[in-house]
Amino acid sequence: MKVLVPVKRVADYNIKVRPKSDGSGVELANVKMSMNPFDEIAVEEAVRLKEAGVATEVVAVSCGSAVCQETLRTALAMGADRAILVETDVELQSLAVAKLVKVVAEKEGAQLVICGKQAIDDDANQTAQMLAALLDWGQATYASKVVVADGSIEVTREVDGGLETVRLALPAVVSADLRLNEPRYATLPNIMKAKKKPLDTLKASELGVDVSPRVQTLSVYTPPERKGGIKVGSVAELVQKLKDEARVL
Ligand code: AMP
Protein backbone atom coordinates (compact mmCIF):
# COMPACT_ATOMS: atom_id res chain seq x y z
CA MET A 1 0.00 0.00 0.00
CA LYS A 2 1.45 3.30 -1.10
CA VAL A 3 0.81 6.25 1.21
CA LEU A 4 0.93 9.83 -0.04
CA VAL A 5 1.49 12.66 2.43
CA PRO A 6 0.91 16.25 1.27
CA VAL A 7 3.16 18.62 3.23
CA LYS A 8 2.94 22.40 3.25
CA ARG A 9 5.68 24.94 3.92
CA VAL A 10 4.36 27.53 6.38
CA ALA A 11 5.71 30.19 8.75
CA ASP A 12 7.12 28.36 11.77
CA TYR A 13 4.59 28.02 14.59
CA ASN A 14 6.89 29.92 16.99
CA ILE A 15 6.89 33.01 14.79
CA LYS A 16 4.61 35.91 15.62
CA VAL A 17 3.55 36.88 12.12
CA ARG A 18 2.87 40.49 11.11
CA PRO A 19 0.70 41.87 8.32
CA LYS A 20 2.46 43.59 5.40
CA SER A 21 2.38 47.37 5.65
CA ASP A 22 -0.08 47.61 2.74
CA GLY A 23 -2.40 45.01 4.37
CA SER A 24 -2.22 42.76 1.31
CA GLY A 25 -1.08 39.69 3.24
CA VAL A 26 1.30 38.36 5.88
CA GLU A 27 4.96 39.43 5.89
CA LEU A 28 7.04 36.33 5.07
CA ALA A 29 10.34 37.97 4.13
CA ASN A 30 13.12 36.76 6.47
CA VAL A 31 10.65 34.63 8.42
CA LYS A 32 11.60 31.10 9.52
CA MET A 33 9.58 28.60 7.53
CA SER A 34 8.88 24.99 8.56
CA MET A 35 6.68 22.04 7.76
CA ASN A 36 3.07 22.58 8.85
CA PRO A 37 2.93 20.87 12.30
CA PHE A 38 -0.10 18.71 11.42
CA ASP A 39 1.79 17.49 8.34
CA GLU A 40 4.65 16.34 10.58
CA ILE A 41 2.05 14.22 12.39
CA ALA A 42 0.80 12.90 9.03
CA VAL A 43 4.36 11.99 7.93
CA GLU A 44 4.99 10.28 11.28
CA GLU A 45 1.83 8.18 10.94
CA ALA A 46 2.72 7.15 7.38
CA VAL A 47 6.26 6.20 8.44
CA ARG A 48 4.86 4.17 11.37
CA LEU A 49 2.57 2.33 8.91
CA LYS A 50 5.65 1.51 6.84
CA GLU A 51 7.61 0.40 9.90
CA ALA A 52 4.68 -1.85 10.88
CA GLY A 53 4.83 -3.48 7.43
CA VAL A 54 1.42 -2.08 6.45
CA ALA A 55 2.61 0.55 3.96
CA THR A 56 5.08 -0.34 1.23
CA GLU A 57 6.15 3.18 0.35
CA VAL A 58 5.68 6.68 1.76
CA VAL A 59 5.71 9.52 -0.74
CA ALA A 60 5.69 13.15 0.42
CA VAL A 61 4.30 15.78 -1.94
CA SER A 62 4.42 19.54 -1.68
CA CYS A 63 2.83 22.09 -4.00
CA GLY A 64 4.47 25.48 -4.33
CA SER A 65 7.70 27.15 -5.35
CA ALA A 66 11.16 25.53 -5.46
CA VAL A 67 11.82 26.40 -1.79
CA CYS A 68 9.27 23.72 -0.78
CA GLN A 69 12.06 21.21 -1.51
CA GLU A 70 13.35 22.10 1.96
CA THR A 71 10.07 20.90 3.50
CA LEU A 72 10.20 17.74 1.42
CA ARG A 73 13.75 17.05 2.62
CA THR A 74 12.44 17.25 6.19
CA ALA A 75 9.78 14.66 5.33
CA LEU A 76 12.49 12.46 3.81
CA ALA A 77 14.63 12.87 6.94
CA MET A 78 11.65 11.76 9.05
CA GLY A 79 11.44 8.55 7.01
CA ALA A 80 9.50 9.18 3.78
CA ASP A 81 10.98 7.17 0.89
CA ARG A 82 10.47 9.62 -1.96
CA ALA A 83 9.29 13.16 -2.52
CA ILE A 84 7.53 15.04 -5.28
CA LEU A 85 7.51 18.79 -5.70
CA VAL A 86 4.59 20.11 -7.75
CA GLU A 87 6.21 23.34 -8.74
CA THR A 88 4.40 26.61 -9.34
CA ASP A 89 4.89 30.22 -8.38
CA VAL A 90 1.11 30.81 -8.36
CA GLU A 91 -0.19 31.38 -4.82
CA LEU A 92 -2.18 28.22 -4.24
CA GLN A 93 -5.50 27.96 -2.48
CA SER A 94 -6.93 24.73 -1.05
CA LEU A 95 -8.95 23.81 -4.14
CA ALA A 96 -5.89 24.16 -6.39
CA VAL A 97 -3.79 22.03 -3.99
CA ALA A 98 -6.55 19.38 -3.86
CA LYS A 99 -6.66 19.25 -7.67
CA LEU A 100 -2.87 18.93 -7.94
CA VAL A 101 -2.63 16.27 -5.22
CA LYS A 102 -5.45 14.36 -6.93
CA VAL A 103 -3.37 14.11 -10.11
CA VAL A 104 -0.35 12.91 -8.12
CA ALA A 105 -2.42 10.39 -6.11
CA GLU A 106 -3.79 8.91 -9.32
CA LYS A 107 -0.41 8.87 -11.10
CA GLU A 108 1.18 7.17 -8.09
CA GLY A 109 -1.67 4.71 -7.51
CA ALA A 110 -1.77 5.74 -3.85
CA GLN A 111 -4.14 3.77 -1.61
CA LEU A 112 -4.07 6.23 1.24
CA VAL A 113 -3.51 9.98 1.47
CA ILE A 114 -2.77 11.35 4.95
CA CYS A 115 -3.04 15.16 5.09
CA GLY A 116 -2.70 17.45 8.07
CA LYS A 117 -6.10 18.54 9.41
CA GLN A 118 -5.27 22.15 8.59
CA ALA A 119 -2.44 24.42 7.59
CA ILE A 120 -1.59 26.83 10.40
CA ASP A 121 -1.06 29.76 8.03
CA ASP A 122 -4.54 30.17 6.58
CA ASP A 123 -6.38 27.68 8.86
CA ALA A 124 -8.47 26.68 5.84
CA ASN A 125 -9.10 23.07 6.93
CA GLN A 126 -10.50 22.08 3.55
CA THR A 127 -7.84 20.48 1.35
CA ALA A 128 -8.36 16.91 2.62
CA GLN A 129 -12.13 17.20 2.26
CA MET A 130 -11.89 18.66 -1.25
CA LEU A 131 -9.36 16.03 -2.26
CA ALA A 132 -11.60 13.18 -1.09
CA ALA A 133 -14.52 14.68 -3.00
CA LEU A 134 -12.50 15.14 -6.20
CA LEU A 135 -11.11 11.59 -6.00
CA ASP A 136 -14.53 10.23 -4.96
CA TRP A 137 -12.80 8.40 -2.07
CA GLY A 138 -13.98 8.05 1.50
CA GLN A 139 -12.63 10.53 4.04
CA ALA A 140 -11.97 10.51 7.78
CA THR A 141 -10.92 13.88 9.16
CA TYR A 142 -9.40 14.76 12.58
CA ALA A 143 -7.87 11.31 13.06
CA SER A 144 -6.51 10.45 16.51
CA LYS A 145 -5.98 6.74 15.74
CA VAL A 146 -5.53 4.84 12.48
CA VAL A 147 -5.65 1.06 12.03
CA VAL A 148 -5.33 -0.50 8.57
CA ALA A 149 -6.62 -4.06 8.09
CA ASP A 150 -7.83 -6.16 5.15
CA GLY A 151 -8.30 -3.45 2.56
CA SER A 152 -10.04 -1.08 4.92
CA ILE A 153 -9.00 1.50 7.46
CA GLU A 154 -10.46 2.15 10.88
CA VAL A 155 -10.09 5.73 12.01
CA THR A 156 -10.91 7.18 15.41
CA ARG A 157 -11.96 10.81 14.93
CA GLU A 158 -11.92 13.65 17.43
CA VAL A 159 -15.40 15.12 17.29
CA ASP A 160 -17.32 17.51 19.51
CA GLY A 161 -17.96 15.77 22.80
CA GLY A 162 -15.85 12.66 22.26
CA LEU A 163 -14.46 10.15 19.81
CA GLU A 164 -16.08 8.56 16.78
CA THR A 165 -14.71 5.46 15.06
CA VAL A 166 -15.39 4.96 11.35
CA ARG A 167 -14.32 2.23 8.93
CA LEU A 168 -13.56 3.17 5.32
CA ALA A 169 -12.77 1.11 2.26
CA LEU A 170 -9.41 1.92 0.70
CA PRO A 171 -8.42 4.05 -1.14
CA ALA A 172 -9.21 6.82 1.31
CA VAL A 173 -8.18 10.25 2.56
CA VAL A 174 -7.40 10.81 6.24
CA SER A 175 -6.53 14.08 7.97
CA ALA A 176 -4.31 14.01 11.05
CA ASP A 177 -5.29 15.68 14.33
CA LEU A 178 -2.94 16.69 17.15
CA ARG A 179 -3.22 13.53 19.26
CA LEU A 180 -2.61 11.01 16.47
CA ASN A 181 1.05 10.67 17.46
CA GLU A 182 4.12 12.58 18.54
CA PRO A 183 6.31 13.15 15.49
CA ARG A 184 9.96 12.15 15.71
CA TYR A 185 12.80 14.63 15.29
CA ALA A 186 14.84 14.23 12.16
CA THR A 187 18.26 13.10 13.41
CA LEU A 188 21.46 14.41 11.83
CA PRO A 189 22.34 11.06 10.17
CA ASN A 190 18.81 10.89 8.73
CA ILE A 191 19.05 14.49 7.49
CA MET A 192 22.26 13.48 5.68
CA LYS A 193 20.64 10.32 4.26
CA ALA A 194 17.62 12.35 3.12
CA LYS A 195 19.85 14.35 0.79
CA LYS A 196 20.32 11.21 -1.30
CA LYS A 197 16.67 10.17 -1.43
CA PRO A 198 14.79 10.82 -4.72
CA LEU A 199 12.99 14.15 -5.05
CA ASP A 200 11.20 14.59 -8.39
CA THR A 201 9.70 17.78 -9.71
CA LEU A 202 6.48 18.06 -11.72
CA LYS A 203 5.49 21.38 -13.25
CA ALA A 204 1.99 22.27 -12.05
CA SER A 205 1.37 23.94 -15.44
CA GLU A 206 1.83 20.56 -17.14
CA LEU A 207 -0.73 18.69 -15.05
CA GLY A 208 -3.79 20.09 -16.83
CA VAL A 209 -5.19 21.68 -13.70
CA ASP A 210 -6.65 25.18 -13.30
CA VAL A 211 -4.85 26.54 -10.22
CA SER A 212 -6.06 30.12 -10.48
CA PRO A 213 -7.22 31.60 -7.14
CA ARG A 214 -10.97 31.64 -6.46
CA VAL A 215 -10.86 33.74 -3.31
CA GLN A 216 -9.46 37.26 -3.10
CA THR A 217 -7.92 38.57 0.11
CA LEU A 218 -9.29 42.06 0.75
CA SER A 219 -7.15 43.01 3.75
CA VAL A 220 -5.04 41.51 6.50
CA TYR A 221 -4.62 43.35 9.80
CA THR A 222 -3.79 42.62 13.43
CA PRO A 223 -6.73 42.40 15.83
CA PRO A 224 -7.19 45.43 18.13
CA GLU A 225 -5.10 45.25 21.33
CA ARG A 226 -7.06 43.84 24.24
CA LYS A 227 -7.19 45.95 27.39
CA GLY A 228 -5.50 44.45 30.42
CA GLY A 229 -7.68 42.79 33.08
CA ILE A 230 -8.08 43.94 36.69
CA LYS A 231 -8.34 42.12 40.01
CA VAL A 232 -11.46 42.84 42.03
CA GLY A 233 -11.49 42.78 45.82
CA SER A 234 -14.78 40.97 46.39
CA VAL A 235 -17.72 39.28 44.73
CA ALA A 236 -19.83 42.34 45.47
CA GLU A 237 -17.36 44.57 43.61
CA LEU A 238 -17.35 42.11 40.67
CA VAL A 239 -21.15 42.17 40.44
CA GLN A 240 -21.18 45.96 40.66
CA LYS A 241 -18.59 46.27 37.86
CA LEU A 242 -20.46 43.78 35.67
CA LYS A 243 -23.61 45.88 36.18
CA ASP A 244 -22.22 49.40 35.93
CA GLU A 245 -19.14 49.11 33.73
CA ALA A 246 -19.47 46.02 31.55
CA ARG A 247 -23.28 46.38 31.56
CA VAL A 248 -23.75 42.66 31.09
CA LEU A 249 -26.03 42.09 34.10
P1 AMP B 1 -5.67 23.49 4.54
O2 AMP B 1 -6.90 22.92 3.94
O3 AMP B 1 -5.04 24.57 3.69
O4 AMP B 1 -5.86 23.92 5.97
O5 AMP B 1 -4.56 22.33 4.56
C6 AMP B 1 -4.84 21.03 5.04
C7 AMP B 1 -3.75 20.08 4.62
O8 AMP B 1 -3.65 20.03 3.19
C9 AMP B 1 -2.34 20.43 5.07
O10 AMP B 1 -2.13 20.04 6.41
C11 AMP B 1 -1.50 19.63 4.07
O12 AMP B 1 -1.49 18.26 4.40
C13 AMP B 1 -2.31 19.82 2.78
N14 AMP B 1 -1.82 20.99 2.03
C15 AMP B 1 -2.32 22.26 2.04
N16 AMP B 1 -1.61 23.07 1.21
C17 AMP B 1 -0.62 22.29 0.69
C18 AMP B 1 0.45 22.52 -0.25
N19 AMP B 1 0.67 23.73 -0.79
N20 AMP B 1 1.24 21.47 -0.58
C21 AMP B 1 1.02 20.25 -0.03
N22 AMP B 1 0.05 19.97 0.83
C23 AMP B 1 -0.77 20.97 1.19
Is-contact 211 100, C-beta < 8 A?
yes
> How many angstroms does the Cα of residue 90 sit away from the middle of ligand 1?
15
Is-contact 181 65, C-beta < 8 A?
no
Instruction: Give 197-245 pLDDT, tens digit per residue.
Output: 999 999 999 999 999 999 999 999 998 888 888 899 999 999 999 999 9
Closest CA to 199 of 86, 57, 64: 86
> How many angstroms does the Cα of residue 165 sit away from the middle of ligand 1?
24
- Helix, strand or coil, per DSSP, at residue 179: helix
Instruction: Give 144-171 pLDDT, tens digit per residue.
Output: 999 998 889 999 999 999 999 999 999 9
Q: What is the pLDDT of residue 227?
A: 84
Using alpha carbons only, give the angle 106, 109, 114 rounded to the nearest 5 degrees.
85
Instruction: Give 99-110 pLDDT, tens digit per residue.
Output: 999 999 999 999
> What residue ranges define each of the domains in the chain, with the CATH number in brackets?
2-224 (3.40.50.620)
Ligand 1, atom 10: closest residue by C-alpha = 116
> For a substitution probing ligand 1, which of 3, 7, 8 has the most ligand atoms within 8 Å of its CB?
8
Instruction: Give 8-32 pLDDT, tens digit per residue.
Output: 999 999 999 999 999 999 999 999 9
Give residue 48's identity as a one-letter amino acid code. R
Which run of H or E residues covers position 113? strand 112-116
Q: Which atom of ligand 1 is nearest to the CA of 126?
A: 2
